[in-house]
Structure 1
Amino acid sequence: MYRPPVLLVAAVQLVLVSLAGSVLHFYGRPVTALSVFIGGALCALPNAYFGFRAFRHRGARDADRVVASFYRAETGKFILTLAGFAAVFAVVRPLDAAALFISYSCCIILQWLLVARLVR
């Protein structure tokens, strides 16, 4: 049975934000590099959690479990994202908030593009 490439998308997101952070760090922008990496991780890691939890059950016989796992996965993803942003703003100093949100937003757009490309 077909399984959506949610974990692959999260891995690609993490690789790309790691590369972007490395390039920024190389050019002397360590705070921006860390903020870019954290922003991407705040998008990719909850999505990986969602993919791991949501697609554990398959088939018509497990329809109730499939629906329940999707609700639990989405709730967990939401809580992880909120807790992640709260922890970052409480703990990480110095932080480039613009780079954090731009990286987070770019990862969401990348997710849409990858899913549109991979799921046909």
Structure 2
Amino acid sequence: MSKPPVLKIAAVQLLLVSLASAAWYLLGNPVTALSIFLGGALCALPNAYFALRAFRHSGARAASRVVESFYRAETGKFVLTLCGFAAVFVAVRPINAAALFISYSLCVIVQWLLVARLVR
């Protein structure tokens, strides 16, 4: 079975956030760089989980399994995102919360744009 094309979106998100994080690190702000990377990872990794879980089944005969996979994948993605944010705020000190949320938000926007491009 081939990998779902939406898995590529998570790879692009991780690449972009890694580049942005490296740029901030080179500019001399390692706390912001780490916050940017973590924010992007909190978006990209649950998306990768969703892609792997949601697209395990295909075909008309597997319709009920497809729907069930999507619900379970979305629930898992939501739980991973919540636990990820909780873990970051508990375990990472110091953190730049603004950079974390901006990076997460930009990754969500990148996801929307790439999904729209994939659908066309």
Q: TM tier, shorter chain? A: over 0.9
User: Residue in 2 aligned with 1:107?
Assistant: 107
In structure 1, what residue type is equivalent to 2:50?
A: F
Q: Over aligned residue pairs, what C-alpha RMSD do you find? A: 1.5
Q: Structure 1 length normalisation: TM-score? A: 0.96
| Residues matched between the structures, number | 120
1:96 partnered with 2:96: yes
Kept after mapping to 2: 8 A contact 1:32/1:96: yes
Gaps of 5+ in 2: none
* Secondary structure at the counterpart of residue 59 of structure 2: coil
Give, in angstroms, the shift of residue 119 of structure 1: 1.9
Residue identity opposite 1:39 in structure 2:
G
Q: Deviations over 1:14-56 (max 9, x none)?
A: 0000000000000101000000000000000000000000000
Given that 1:18 and 1:37 are in contact with CA atoms closer than 8 Å, whether structure 2 keeps it comes out as yes
Offset at residue 3 of structure 1 (A): 7.4
TM-score, normalised by the number of residues in structure 2: 0.96
Provide structure 1 residue ranges, at least 5 long, that are not aligned to the other structure.
none
Contact 1:5–1:115 under 8 Å retained in 2: no
Q: Contact 2:7 / 2:52 at 8 angstroms: preserved in 1?
A: yes
